[in-house]
Structure 1
Amino acid sequence: MLSYRHSFHAGNHADVLKHTVQSLIITALKEKEKPFLYLDTHAGAGRYQLSGPHAERTGEYLDGIAKIWQRDDIPAELEPYMQAVHTYNHSGQLRYYPGSPLIARQLLREYDKLHLTELHPSDFPLLRNEFQKDARTKVLRDDGYQQLKSQLPPLSRRGFVLIDPPYELKTDYQDVVKGIKEGHKRFGTGVFALWYPVVLRQHIKRLLKELQASGIRNILQIELAVLPDSDRYGMTASGMIVINPPWKLAAQMKNVLPWLHSVLVPEGTGHTLVEQIVPE
């Protein structure tokens, strides 16, 4: 199928949440000198032109990154993420949005490794070209879930796995649980972060129930909703499920989410959530 193109949605409220969490996890892992692997199972194109026809058609970034990137009251928790965004927008105009691979490239150290996977025939060449001169990075056109079997555990025994599927098929919700269980079985000490959209709440309830029944410990749920749950509005919220989160992450997100919600949703609809759904 492979019809999903993230270029229509780059920089929206879901990206703001996802990349805030991603940046904080990478920053926490850098507190130890030992190198680590960043594995991105659904990496996308890497860079998105916000003046391009896809982003202009939806304008979703206007209710996301455009609302926060030049504010002077940014909480400290957002600084790594904002640093990455500003790196790709030197002119002072918001022209490009960095996807998760570019944010990782900006924040990782010279001796850390990136492993990026993308299947889409249009996005993969863009991703490959973006990283062709980066010796730290391996870019593959492959099924991201297979990488959870073949690339784990990393040689360094430290790693962060970002799983960000398009959820084009109902089976994607089952596939992500299966993939996480496979990856965790091989690399039980790794940090795994799964992004999810809230379109129908029942899908997320089932996803959470399956993860809670998996036997995996230490699972944190983070959610940002811009509208109440509904079956009529499309995506009303998004979230991150983090396995083995850095010890400061829950407190950091409890601090920054109310600020993000107030700026992104000044009318106050929706909600925020940070909850340990499975203890250590």
Structure 2
Amino acid sequence: MNYRHSFHAGNFADVVKHVVLARILAYLGQKDAPFRVLDTHAGAGLYDLQGEDARRTGEWEAGIGAVLRAEFSPAVRELLAPWRALVAEFNPPGAGTDDAHPLGRYPGSPLIAQALTRPQDRLLFCETEPGVRRALEEAVGRDARAKVLPMDAWQALGAHLPPKERRGLVLIDPPFEQPGEFHRMAEGLENAHKRFATGIYALWYPIKDVRAVDAFRRELERAHIPKTLNIQFDIRSVRQADTLSGCGMVVVNPPFTLADELRTVLSALAPVLASDGVGRVRLSWLIPER
């Protein structure tokens, strides 16, 4: 299986992942000290929502499209503002608000990180697929703060941690196209945490094979990494075998504000993104602070 994110860009899972990413980056930017972002599975950076791939699935319409058409409370709008403003930058004014003004492009995690960091921060983006990497290099542009590396994600965790800044975020978002991806992610986190225990780690995962998800969580619990927060976002109340019914994120060393912020914003997004109009959000500590 050759995963192509262009089919899925801007869907509900991207929305959840990027809202969490934007809130973490906003927190890191509150201190003047520089930090580093390591994105282990960076992708192409910018996606054409009117291209053949995205139009074939139409997944973005129930994701970012639904968010842009929805009404939210002032508190939720404030939490969504950095991410929504960035999406707006890549589209004409008013795009996505109605059928007459369709959304054209959607920024992936590298461009979100690029936009929400400062001149003193540094960015490392890993992408092994040559065509996707060329697209990423074009999307990132000539940014002296950023490097695009043709490096395997799991090798990058060993080669580039700890960062010299001693502050940072590691985003781990595998395509889940090969067996054993959950185990590799848990093992990669445990090894990386030994090298860079104070870093923030954000791991995205699909909720499709429930037994694999449960085994992944148990493996993380056995690692006993303190301050491990689990976020589960379901888009339907009844799960179907081998069907994507939601997604999750594990955040190690989350900002102290993050859990409350996500309860607020993800609870508001759940009925908007859910296929049954209800949805469900659960936040729990796999391992609390010692």
TM-score band, normalised by shorter chain: over 0.9
Q: In the aligned structure 1, how far is the partner of 2:131 from the partner of 2:186?
A: 27
Are positions 1:54 and 2:53 aligned together? yes
- Contact 1:201–1:229 (CA under 8 A) maintained in structure 2: no
> Offset of 1:271 from its aligned partner?
1.5
> Offset of 1:70 from its aligned partner?
4.8
Give the alignment partner of residue 84 of structure 1, picking from 78, 86, 96. 86
Q: What is the RMSD computed on CA atoms of the aligned residues?
A: 1.5
Q: In the aligned structure 1, how far is the partner of 2:234 from the partner of 2:276?
A: 12
> How many residues are matched?
279
- Contact 2:209–2:241 (CA under 8 A) maintained in structure 1: no
Q: In the aligned structure 2, how far is the partner of 1:178 from the partner of 1:222?
A: 19
Are positions 1:124 and 2:139 aligned together? no
**Residue of structure 1 in register with 2:213 after alignment:** 204
Alignment of 1:86-105 (within 5 A): 86-93=88-95, 94-105=103-114
C-alpha offsets along residues 126-168 of structure 1, whole Å, 9 cap, x if unaligned? 0112224111101011101111101111111001000000011
TM normalised by structure 1 equals 0.96
Q: In the aligned structure 2, how far is the partner of 1:126 from the partner of 1:163?
A: 20
Moved more, 18-27 or 105-114: 105-114
Give the alignment partner of residue 188 of structure 1, picking from 192, 197, 222. 197
Q: In the aligned structure 2, how far is the partner of 1:101 from the partner of 1:240?
A: 17
- Contact 1:220–1:277 (CA under 8 A) maintained in structure 2: yes
Q: In the aligned structure 2, how far is the partner of 1:90 from the partner of 1:158?
A: 35
**Residue of structure 1 in register with 2:99 after alignment:** none
Q: Structure 2: which amino acid aligns with 1:141?
A: P
Q: In the aligned structure 2, how far is the partner of 1:79 from the partner of 1:266?
A: 24
Q: In the aligned structure 2, how far is the partner of 1:50 from the partner of 1:132?
A: 20
Structure 2 portions without partners, runs of 5+: 96-102
Q: In the aligned structure 2, how far is the partner of 1:266 from the partner of 1:13?
A: 10
TM normalised by structure 2 equals 0.92
- Contact 1:45–1:123 (CA under 8 A) maintained in structure 2: yes
SS in 2 for 1:35: coil
**Residue of structure 1 in register with 2:43 after alignment:** 44
Q: In the aligned structure 1, how far is the partner of 2:160 from the partner of 2:32?
A: 22
SS in 1 for 2:285: strand
Q: Structure 2: which amino acid aligns with 1:152?
A: L
Are positions 1:156 and 2:165 aligned together? yes
C-alpha offsets along residues 94-115 of structure 1, whole Å, 9 cap, x if unaligned? 1101000011111111111110
SS in 2 for 1:122: helix
> Offset of 1:87 from its aligned partner?
1.4
- Contact 2:47–2:106 (CA under 8 A) maintained in structure 1: yes
Are positions 1:27 and 2:26 aligned together? yes
> Offset of 1:215 from its aligned partner?
2.2
Are positions 1:17 and 2:16 aligned together? yes
SS in 2 for 1:51: coil
> Offset of 1:269 from its aligned partner?
4.2
- What percent of counterpart residues are identical? 42
SS in 1 for 2:47: strand
Q: Structure 1: which amino acid aligns with 2:187?
A: K
